[in-house]
Amino acid sequence: MYRGNPDHVAIIMDGNGRWGKKRRLSRSEGHYAGAKRMEEIIDAGIACGIKVLTLYAFSSENWSRPSNEVNYLMDLPVRFFNKKLPEFMKRNIQIRISGNISPLPDKTREVLAKAVARTEKNTGIIVNFAFNYGGRGDIVQAARALIEEVRNGNISEDDITEEKMQQFLYTGDLPSPNMIIRTGGEKRISNFLLWQSAESDFYFTDAYFPDFTREMFAEAIGQQPVNSYLSG
Ligand code: IPE
Ligand code: IPE
Ligand code: MG
């Protein structure tokens, strides 16, 4: 159990497919159930006073899944943000994306960019979606960006420090996660925040993500169960 008050909690939302299979549903129906649960976990994060919640929604390795599943996962953010963006504005939630959004289908890239732009000035919880994210790719893109900075004369080679490197990661100015939760029973990192997790606590639960309740989230971060701000 994490002791203290975590500012930044990151979740590897795993087990959607198996959740669907267990119910004789499709993997995509598992992803839909996971997205519903994500709404509850964002709400729980606010109620728990978390400042940053990073949610691993699509890894750079997930492209190798069957195309119908990939297509579904590219559609989900469109449906999710079209439905939730007004509420996110009302609740002062700032959306960020960590990952390479350029190869995404237009509709997905556009809805993600819109969510980030609309909520940019919000000052409440930061919900950071790791989408088309990979930890190795993150470090490579940061290295490339640093080289570009040196080449343009903005910084010198001697300015390349751990702090500078960190600023150029997709997570930018966000603090490193105090805690990383993985649902679904596997105990591995799956190319998630490799650099950023250097000092994180890890919490593993067998619960499939669509079964991961707000009470389980509160327990994971060492808090009493909290009621929803919305529905009580
Ligand atoms: C995690 O659930 C969600 C994504 C990777 C998008 P999975 O789809 O990996 O579900 P399992 O692990 O196969 O059950
Ligand atoms: C990690 O889960 C990625 C996300 C939760 C988005 P995966 O199911 O893709 O990871 P592996 O394949 O089990 O390592
Ligand atoms: Mg999985």
Task: Tell me the ligand closest to 15's alpha carbon.
Answer: 1
In this prediction the pTM is 0.96
Question: What's the mean pLDDT in 200-213?
Answer: 98
- Which atom in ligand 1 lies closest to the alpha carbon of residue 62? 5
Question: What's the mean pLDDT in 206-225?
Answer: 94
| C-alpha 7, offset from chain centre | 14
- Give φ, ψ of 167 to 5 degrees: -60, -30
Question: What's the mean pLDDT in 19-46?
Answer: 98
Q: How far apart are CA 68 and CA 86, in angstroms?
A: 29
| pLDDT value at 118 more than 60 | yes
Looking at residue 65, the DSSP 8-state letter turns out to be S
Question: What's the mean pLDDT in 150-173?
Answer: 97
- Give φ, ψ of 56 to 5 degrees: -80, 105
Looking at residue 42, the DSSP 8-state letter turns out to be H
Residue 230: its pLDDT value, please? 56
Q: How far apart are CA 152 and CA 110, in angstroms?
A: 30
| pLDDT value at 200 more than 50 | yes
Question: What's the mean pLDDT in 141-158?
Answer: 98
Substitution candidate for ligand 2 out of 31, 61, 63 with most atoms within 8 A of CB: 61
Angle of helix 67-90 relative to helix 106-119, nearest 10 degrees? 20
CB count in 10 Å sphere of residue 79: 12
Question: What's the mean pLDDT in 20-26?
Answer: 98
How far is the CA of 54 from the CAs of 42, 160, 192, 231, 232, in angstroms? 10, 26, 11, 23, 24
Query: pLDDT band for position 74 (50/70/90)?
Result: very high
Substitution candidate for ligand 1 out of 11, 18, 25, 37 with most atoms within 8 A of CB: 18
Ligand 1: distance of its center to the CA of 4 in Å? 30
Q: Whose Cα sits closest to atom 8 in ligand 1? A: 17
Residue 232: its pLDDT value, please? 44
Pick the CATH number of 8-133+175-220 from 3.40.800.20, 3.40.190.10, 3.40.1180.10, 3.60.15.10: 3.40.1180.10
Strand pairing category for 52-59 and 8-12? parallel
| pLDDT value at 136 more than 80 | yes
Ion ligand 3, residue ranges at CB < 5 A? 14
Ligand 3: distance of its center to the CA of 218 in Å? 23
First to last CA, the chain: 26
Average pLDDT, the chain: 96
Residue 4: its pLDDT value, please? 73
Contact in structure between 165 and 147 (CB atoms under 8 Å)? no
Ligand 2: distance of its center to the CA of 92 in Å? 30
| pLDDT value at 140 more than 60 | yes
How far is the CA of 169 from the CAs of 177, 180, 224, in angstroms? 14, 18, 33
Q: Whose Cα sits closest to atom 3 in ligand 2? A: 59
Contact in structure between 204 and 187 (CB atoms under 8 Å)? yes
How far is the CA of 59 from the CAs of 18, 63, 126, 139, 176, in angstroms? 17, 8, 20, 15, 19
Share of the chain above pLDDT 90, in %: 94
- For the stretch 163-189, pLDDT in tens is 999 999 999 999 999 999 999 999 999
Ligand 1: distance of its center to the CA of 17 in Å? 5
